[in-house]
Copies of this chain bind each other. A is one copy, B any other.
Amino acid sequence: MRFSPLVDRVAGKGAGAWRIHWEALQRKASGREVILLTVGDPDQPPPAVLIDATVESLRRGRTGYSPIIGYPEVRAAVAARHAARTGQPCSADNVVVVPGAQAGLYCALQCLAGAGDEVVVPEPMYATYEAVVRATGANLVNVPLQADRGFHLDLDTLAAAITPRTRVLWINTPHNPTGAVMTRGEVEAVAELARRHDLWVLSDEVYADLAFDGGHTSPWALPGMAERTVVVSSLSKSHAAPGLRFGWLVGPPELSGHMYNLLLCMLYGGPPFIQDGALAALQADPPEVAAMRADYRRRAALLSGILGDAQHCRTAMPEGGMFVLLDVRATGLTSTAFAERLLEAEDVAVLPADGFGPSATGHLRISLTAPDAVLEEAGRRIVRFAGGLAG
């Protein structure tokens, strides 16, 4: 049977990026003591208020249909949080509730770009981005983030990538997989390019609460940018609750109207009880969120410190997020070979970052989603493994 052309467009390399993760899961299921540092699935429990309110809502029978783009009070709570963080106005009309940031990125780009358009994205980039762009029919235009700049964006390179077909500049800060956090000046420069060329800025801010020095800047915070900025975020990382699939878009009210039409035919609303839980968590602003940032900062320092002893490897303290990158180029192994042999020899699973883009070739992405003692053990095993390599 013949399928639509879309099936080829979404079948990018991205889907293969997690292969070693599935291998590690099988190895673990077969009884090995595998330390799994492949995915960004927080090991902390979600704040109790989030789960309690979700359960209470289920028990109250909140299992009917819900408004297509979210309850007005939930959208208002997200808006209030966003306004407080950015210092710019934001109301419920700007907010659309979606089942996770991935859905937010997919839905947003469906409304912003189409066949023949170009979407500019720095790489390495999160492994699903390519398929999100190609699902719209638009072309993905990558600009490299260079390891020797700490994976910070070179703005001349970005400017040079813009053509008359460009519709969207897509940024992600704090950045997955590199841990780079864009400075205010860098975000301002991107905003200036967007204004000059009349472009959208799509801003993936799912790690905003995990900027270690509190220095997260959203393009929404900059003057004149609310009309052309779409922010996507969720509670997945900040509240250690990816399984709740509670995310949102913040954008111009006109986008919310288009999102209503798209979500009507695509999802027809989400679970009311999840929105009730999320609303309680947003209103309570539980201390676990700040504790999470402290956790990841401490873990990042701990692991990158230990990995400083790994022969032929280089690493640096990330500026945010929940990953440490390890540069293994000087070992003579590809990152995939390194990861596979590390899993085989030491039962530590990490992700080759090559799947996130060519500029991450030779790097491993190591997730910090494990307690300190586990990360220390993983770090020691990686150091031992690297020490046994010829280099």
Give A residues with C-beta under 8 Å from B. 1-7, 10-12, 14-15, 39, 41-42, 45-46, 51, 54-55, 58-59, 61-66, 99-100, 102-103, 106, 110-115, 117, 128, 131-132, 135-136, 167, 198, 200, 227-228, 240-245, 252, 254-255, 258, 260-262, 264-274
Q: Within 8 Å CB of A113, what residues of B?
A: 4
Establish whether residues B63 and A243, one from each chain, have CB atoms under 8 Å apart when the complex forms: yes
State in angstroms the CA–CA spacing of A163 and B115 once bound together.
26
State in angstroms the CA–CA spacing of A45 and B135 once bound together.
38
Q: How far is the CB of A89 from chain B (nearest CB, A)?
A: 17
Q: How far is the CB of A279 from chain B (nearest CB, A)?
A: 15
Establish whether residues B103 and A267, one from each chain, have CB atoms under 8 Å apart when the complex forms: yes
Establish whether residues B270 and A99, one from each chain, have CB atoms under 8 Å apart when the complex forms: yes
Q: How far is the CB of A56 from chain B (nearest CB, A)?
A: 10
Establish whether residues A265 and B112, one from each chain, have CB atoms under 8 Å apart when the complex forms: no
When C-beta atoms are compared, the residue in chain B nearest to A114 turns out to be: B4
Complex partner residue of A271 from B15, B55, B244, CB under 8 angstroms: B244
Establish whether residues B66 and A243, one from each chain, have CB atoms under 8 Å apart when the complex forms: yes
State in angstroms the CA–CA spacing of A245 and B227 once bound together.
32
State in angstroms the CA–CA spacing of A264 and B102 once bound together.
8
Q: Within 8 Å CB of A66, what residues of B?
A: 243
Establish whether residues A99 and B99, one from each chain, have CB atoms under 8 Å apart when the complex forms: yes
Max chain B Cβ within 10 angstroms of own Cβ: one of A252, A262, A268: A268
Given contacts A59-B55, A65-B39, A103-B267, contact A262 B6 (CB under 8 A): yes
* 4 smallest beta-carbon distances between A and B, as pairs: A131-B265, A102-B268, A4-B114, A63-B243
Establish whether residues A63 and B244, one from each chain, have CB atoms under 8 Å apart when the complex forms: yes
Q: Within 8 Å CB of A6, what residues of B?
A: 110-111, 114, 136, 262
Given contacts A102-B268, A227-B1, contact A261 B64 (CB under 8 A): no
